[in-house]
Amino acid sequence: MKKIHFTFSLLIIIFCFTLFSGCKKAAENRIHGSWIVQNVVDITNQDYEEWTFDSGDNLSILMIVHQNTNVYTYNYIGKYKLKTSKKLEISNFTVGPSINYNADWEIAKLTNKTLMIVTGKAGLSFKEFYKN
């Protein structure tokens, strides 16, 4: 009886591990590629921001900023790590406004077309994306 109980417990542990590791792998596959920030606060804003998650651990952020009659383009390179299917760590941004993105982010939604992330670093920050 003890042997059956032990075997059953071991099977449950293996099942749970497989289930949760599969969720993370699915999230990794969905997050790869380019995502365009949707400014939900000011839909008239002409600035452009695109995040590209490569299949390794690199994250590049392209920003096109309009100031008066001038247009400025910035490209920042950092790192990302998907800790779980709902936790995203962003790091290694060292210049510009991208420094503020160095944080642990909660993935609120991730589909093939939509990504929403939230962090509580220095106040609440929220980003909503659509797939490019």
State the CATH number of the domain containing residue 99.
Answer: 2.40.128.280
Q: Which amino acid is at 20?
A: F
Report the C-alpha gap between 131 and 125 in whole angstroms: 20
pLDDT bin (cut points 50, 70, 90) of residue 3 is: low
86 vs 120: which has the higher pLDDT = 86
43: pLDDT strictly greater than 90: no
**Structural domain for 66, as ranges:** 2-131
109: pLDDT strictly greater than 50: yes
Q: What is the pLDDT of residue 32?
A: 95
**CA atoms within 13 Å, Cβ hemisphere of 58:** 7
The number of distinct structural domains making up the chain is 1
Report the C-alpha gap between 1 and 81 in whole angstroms: 43
What mean pLDDT is predicted for residues 75-89? 95
